[in-house]
A and B are shown apart, each in its own frame.
Chain A
Amino acid sequence: MALVKRKELSLAEKLYLPEIARGLSITLTKMFGKSITRQYPEEPLPTTAVTRGQPRLVERQDGHLACVSCGLCEAACPAYAITIDGQETDRPIEREPERFEIDMLRCILCGFCEEACPKDAIFMSSELELADYDRASLVYGLDQLRRQRPALQRRIDYIHGINERW
């Protein structure tokens, strides 16, 4: 059994005054150091390509969504946030969403919908702010979910890059 050796304190240590002085000097120098506060609404939150923000639907240059309302994201969503109804279209793709709603109050930003999509139609943008006055307004429909491709390009490139490795 090893005995705990307690070092004998010197007189200066026992008085504690030099330690107090040392502590005070440390805090004083810290006062003049740089502060690390982020002034939030003025300074936005930093996001990178890896950041999973809210899901958004890709709108192609011809104005139509890439989404074909296949329902895979609805099935993959672990929070049951997505509701989809499909309809016929004359375009060769045959199928497009009539109603595509994501209840943002249920969405957990997991990105499963992005992984499940076979048409590269939904991506996790870098939009993170979500605040409104009543529950109904936070169920986002097609109009609120569509974004032009360039707005999502950073995320699209990142996802394509990691999928190359598969």
Chain B
Amino acid sequence: MTIITVNGREVEADPARPLIDACHDNGAHVPHYCYHRGLSPVGSCRICQVVVSQGDMPPRVVAACRTPVAKGMVVNTEAEAAHGARKECLEFILKNHPLDCPICDKAGECSLQDNAYAEGQSECRSVEPRRELAKRKSLGDVIVLDQERCILCSRCVRFMEEVPQTPQLAIVGRGTHSRVETWQDQPLSGNYQGNLSDVCPVGALTLKDFRFQARVWNLRKSASTCPECSRGCSVTVEVLRDGPVKRIRPRHNEAVNGYWMCDEGRLGFHEREQRPRLAAALLAGASGLETASASRVIEVCADLISAAERPLLLASPFITDEEAELLKQLSASCGARAAVVIRDTESADADTILRTGDPSPNRRGLTEAGLEALSPAAAAAALGEADCALLLGERSAELVGFEALCALPVKLRLVLLDSYAPEGEIPALNACLGIPDWTERPGTWTNIDGHKGQLLPARPAPNGTRPLTATLRVLASILAESGTPTAADIAEEATR
């Protein structure tokens, strides 16, 4: 590590990284557009200019993203010359930039807005009209391009070359006619298109599914982990007014996903947002399932388990490590078989970048916790053998299969603890209780490499759901205390 001086303080700088990283790591603000830590630097935007001097050399303005660190360098990021250079750069960029802030989705998280505000660049000295280009150009199913807003930083071009390694975007034309385009206006392809809206510093490349959905300052953001595959990319879940999830973006995690995430993770939440939630406590009664209190349902569940000879606790791979721990303890205390439904890996889904092809986010965590891994068919068979089963975890009913569940014998006393309501009537179902989904509860998932991914609640769980951890604890405490009720009592309770 080389020692340099940044804004009067001596700091350590990594000689393998450009000067701009040393400045950022030590709290010095250097604006940047074309530079991105996850991409190769080009030095084309010229806004990262700082004043650097070394030894006897007089101070000069350099682009920090293309300047290697050297021992004894003295860097001043707040010098007047630096600010002046940045203002000039901004003036040129803004000269042709359309006045789209009121309708642009990037407003609120736009570097151009922030830097123009910080440097105070608001006046335009040119009288000529701005150049006109395509405004709402669709680049496929995921991305929409606004060529006028583009500041030609080429981050999108470099991203497509370096990360999915499918160079689909290029800057064509020269001078004032430069614009970003695909070859013959073909739509983009690939599973990583969504990252283009993250790398673009302005609102030129935006997500179609997020278009006009919310203003970013109204979104409440929480750190979480993606549930689509066992990579467990770190994400930020963004929720509007404690209601719907509006956007999921990747968080930087050097060990797991770098700066990126795939489109399935980014866009997959929409389908599940539409599904009807199981947000009630229901008991099988004379005319199908009737509403009851959650504590009543838990009591019935405890009675059923303690009366059974071959109880089965079947989890979905979406339960957290903490819930798995409690499940293990519960199974140990009541002598039940504890298993998790794991779908087979679909190797066609895997790629060399992020996707693992394994759709169970916590497979490693659950198998390490000691839960038996069953395929959906084996799980259905296990359910058929048991005389009482607790099917718990988000999407557990979906994973076992609705038809398989309907085919179960009625004498199997099935209790369902799931986030989503089953598609129809399940004859074997005795009771069910709603639980929060992955955006509504805290926990940990262990990814394929053993990294622990944090889950944090991004929004309140719907009324009528009970956290699974609480339910498991209550069940454990009831089963630890009570004796075994008679079969007649259970039959009476179950039909009440």
Contacts and interface: CB of A to CB of B under 8 A. Distances in A.
A77 to B, nearest CB: 12
Interface in B213-267: 213-215, 217-218
Nearest to B107: A70
B102 A72 contact: yes
A70 B101 contact: yes
A19 interface: no
B211 A88 contact: yes
A159 interface: no
Contacts, number: 34
A68 B102 contact: yes
Given A86-B212, A94-B135, A95-B212, A118 B103 contact: no
Among the interface residues B102, B107, B211, which one has the most CB atoms of the partner chain A within 10 A?
Answer: B102
Interface residues of A, number: 18
A86 B218 CA distance: 13
A84 B218 CA distance: 10
A70 B212 contact: no
Contacts of A72: 102
Contacts of B213: 86
Contacts of A119: 102
A87 B215 contact: no
A62 to B, nearest CB: 18
B102 to A, nearest CB: 3
Interface string A56-81: 00000000000011111011000000
B212 A93 contact: no
A41 B101 CA distance: 44
B136 interface: yes
Nearest to A75: B217
B103 A68 contact: yes
B240 to A, nearest CB: 9
Given A70-B107, A71-B218, A75-B217, A118 B212 contact: no
A69 B212 contact: yes
Nearest to B240: A85
A119 B100 CA distance: 11
Contacts of B136: 94
A92 B213 CA distance: 19
26 contacts: A68-B102, A68-B103, A69-B212, A70-B102, A70-B103, A70-B107, A70-B215, A71-B215, A71-B218, A72-B102, A74-B218, A75-B215, A75-B217, A84-B215, A85-B214, A86-B213, A87-B212, A92-B135, A93-B103, A94-B103, A94-B135, A95-B102, A95-B103, A95-B212, A118-B102, A119-B102
Interface of B: 101-103, 107, 135-136, 211-215, 217-218
Name the 7 nearest CB pairs between A and B, nearest first: A70-B102, A86-B212, A71-B215, A95-B103, A68-B102, A118-B102, A68-B103
